[in-house]
Structure 1
């Protein structure tokens, strides 16, 4: 696992997103329902996970 993946996994929100995605595909809007944050914030976290190669679009 590369350094980007470890950086991405250091964030508890990103770890929770990965847990939710283990159950199946979800949109950014569906993920946002599980957090007290905006959809753009969720998209930011998803982009970090994508950049680290941990999720696919």
Structure 2
């Protein structure tokens, strides 16, 4: 769970997740949305993969990234449970 919080703490990674919410994208398409080097974007994508927030699938010469919602749903469920007072 710690990897998830680390991944979500960074605004660049949150923007990547927002982009992937709209559509699957390859690393070049993602990098085109930012003013930073491709290795920097690759590092962000690796952190998101380690946190299990994105899937990466090789398609020909490209790796296509997609949003993986299961971990996010688990986090939202946990946060929702924490906000319920007096319920067990």
TM-score by length of 2: 0.62
Partner of 1:45: 44
Correspondence 1:27 to 2:26: yes
Tell me the SS of whatever aligns to 1:22.
helix
Partner of 1:8: 7
For structure 1, the residue ranges without an aligned partner over 5 or more in a row are none
CA RMSD of aligned residues (A): 0.5
Q: Whose strand proportion is higher, 1 or 2?
A: 2
Larger Rg: 2
For structure 2, the residue ranges without an aligned partner over 5 or more in a row are 57-88
TM-score by length of 1: 0.94
Tell me the SS of whatever aligns to 2:53.
coil
Aligned length: 56
1:43 Cα shift?
A: 0.6
